Structure 1
Amino acid sequence: MKAAAVALLSLACLAPLTASAEWQWLDNEGHRVFSDQPPPPDIAPNRILKQGKGALAAMPVPAPVAANTPVGVDPSLRPSGKDKGLEEKRRQAEAAEAKKRKEDDARVTAQRSENCSRARTAKASIDSGQRLAVVNAKGEREIMDDAMRAAEGKRLDEVIARDCAVERQ
């Protein structure tokens, strides 16, 4: 009977050992934690020292964590990758660039219109048949001959075709 009592006492002493801590992990401050429950989701898997029985079924599935996210930081607090201030500055820069482009286009259109009107006036003078004089590279005055008139008329026709085409549109 003494042997049965010793065996029963041994089993009674071993029963609490089965209910001991099944999980061990390091918390965010680096302290070792013992528990019969799985660690919270914010504990990285590499900080779990010991897993309990049925660990795969009981273990909460952590959200994927980026490689550069520090341990213990909630993944939902990761930056979105967009800086609102930077986005606003980019939009302002694009608007300023579009405005500058529009002003440049208006300036070029005005210059072409002026070139067109000057070319038409010069072409009318060339086609009138009157004697015209030009100043050469030496600063001397020369009367235009027929070859010079034809060359200047051809050049003015090209300017009119190029710059006056904008006015027709």
Structure 2
Amino acid sequence: MTPVRLHTLILALGLGLAATGSAVAGNLWGWKDANGKPQYSDRSPPPGVPESAIFQRPAGARVRVLPASAASEAASGAEAVKPVLKASDPELEARKKKEADAKEAERKAQEEKVAAQRADNCKRAQDYKRTLDSGRRISRTNDKGENEILDDKARADEDARTREVISRDCK
């Protein structure tokens, strides 16, 4: 490898590591423990750590604000308090609204699809009813694959079924 390529490779690796390190460090908590020793974690400090001891917070984390009684309980370690993120409420509301809008659009699309099917069924039933009422001979294929002509009883049964479809789908 030539020296120029080697220097370019080392520079690129160094920049990549620096970018990765700063991204990870941006999500860390930093505080001083009871002995004054710095502590780092991806989780918030324990409840007994005072706000003045926290020197680093992740981006978007809020400062914990506790009432006087809750602050004394937190100091004694009796209650765990998690930080509240600033951007979570508007983002959560926007996401919920988007999901509700998507569900509503899906429901409307389904209703339109059903309405189109009913309209098609209605039109076909009305056309078939006109054919039945015309008195023309109607044939259909039986189970054996043979053509058979509808007699008066079969024609009356078909007429009743067609009227039922029309009453159900033609509203």
TM-score band, normalised by shorter chain: 0.5 to 0.7
State how far apart, in whole Å, the 1-side matches of 2:80 and 2:126 are.
69
Q: Please say if 1:79 is aligned against 2:79.
A: no
Q: What 5-or-longer segments of structure 1 have no aligned partner?
A: 1-27, 32-41, 44-60, 71-77
Counterpart-to-counterpart distance in 1, 2:80 and 2:164: 64
Residues in 2 aligned to 1:63 and 1:88: alpha-carbon distance in whole angstroms: 35
1:150 aligns with 2:159: no
Give the Cα–Cα distance (whole angstroms) in 1 for the partners of residues 136 and 151 of structure 2: 11
Paired amino acid for 1:129 = G
- Identical-residue share of aligned pairs (%): 37
Map residues 15-164 of structure 1 onto 2, 5 A cutoff.
Answer: 29-30=33-34, 62-64=68-70, 67-69=79-81, 78-79=83-84, 83-164=89-170
Residue type of the alignment partner of 1:79: V
CA RMSD, Structure 1 to Structure 2 (Å): 2.9
Shift of 1:153: 0.6
| Alignment TM-score, normalising by the size of structure 1 | 0.53
What is the distance in 2 between the residues matched to 1:102 and 1:132? 39
Point out 4+ residue stretches in structure 1 off by more than 6 angstroms: none
Distance 1:91 1:63 in 2: 37
Question: Structure 1, residues 64-108: CA drift from partner, whole Å, max 9, x if none?
Answer: 3573217xxxxxxx4279543333222212111111111111111
Letter in 2 for 1:128: S
- Distance across 1 between alignment mates of 2:165 and 2:135: 20
One-letter code aligned to 2:34: G
Structure 2: give runs of 5+ residues left out of the alignment. 1-31, 36-48, 51-66
SS at match of 1:122: helix
Once structures 1 and 2 are overlaid, which stretch shifts more, 84-93 or 137-146?
84-93
Q: Deviations over 1:5-35 (max 9, x none)?
A: xxxxxxxxxxxxxxxxxxxxxxx7426xxxx
**What secondary structure is seen at the aligned counterpart in 2 of 1:139?**
coil
Write the deviation string for residues 126-150 of structure 1: whole angstroms up to 9, x where unpaired: 1122211111122210000111111
Max Rg structure: 1
Amino acid at match of 2:70: P
- AA matched with 2:124: R
